[in-house]
Amino acid sequence: MRMGKAAIVLCLSWLSASCQAGDASISQQYIESNIERLEAAIVRCDSKAAENGMPDSDVFDLLRQYEYEEVRVFLITRSAAMANECQKPHLTDLAHTIGMLEASTAYAEVEDLISSVKPLMYGKETWALKERYLQLPDDMKKNLESIPYFQKPFRDIPIIERLESANGL
């Protein structure tokens, strides 16, 4: 998941830089500023996840009560969901900007930029993650989602690694 975030930040930086390369139109400048704000939000939310640290031993005990693969799916998808929630205002702004520009006469000026950004926001992987999460047992989701640790951005990989090392995986 962190690799995906890094790829998004890198792609958004590249797209932003490509807009600055020439004499950018107002439309390009407008979408560029939205991309920059989203990029800053991604970095900020990743910092919040890092600050969250590791959950306490009671949380690990609860996680071990469920099947490992279901816990892994929960951690990966919940971490992505909390990151998206953290970034939501900026994602919403960018989506709104894309919609406005697609419906405007300025679309031709920013078509390449928009077509580069949309897969990052609306890729099929986004739905695939959500779909796997929806297939988890409802009682498991309810129990784990109620834990305050999982109600804010967190890093899933260190938790998965700790569970794997404890299980000898």
The alpha-helical segments, DSSP class H, found in 22-123 are 26-51, 57-63, 68-102, 107-122
Q: Which of 5, 22, 10 is nearest to 116 (CA)?
A: 10
Average pLDDT, stretch 20-47?
Answer: 81
Q: What is the pLDDT of residue 133?
A: 92
Average pLDDT, the chain: 83
Q: What is the pLDDT of residue 20?
A: 46
Q: Specify whether the CB–CB gap between 144 and 150 falls below 8 A.
A: yes
pTM confidence score:
0.74
Specify the residue for token string 């807009």: 19
Q: What is the pLDDT of residues 57-95, one digit of tens each?
A: 999 999 999 999 999 999 999 999 999 899 988 888 888
Average pLDDT, stretch 134-154?
Answer: 96
Average pLDDT, stretch 136-144?
Answer: 96
Does residue 1 have a pLDDT over 80? no
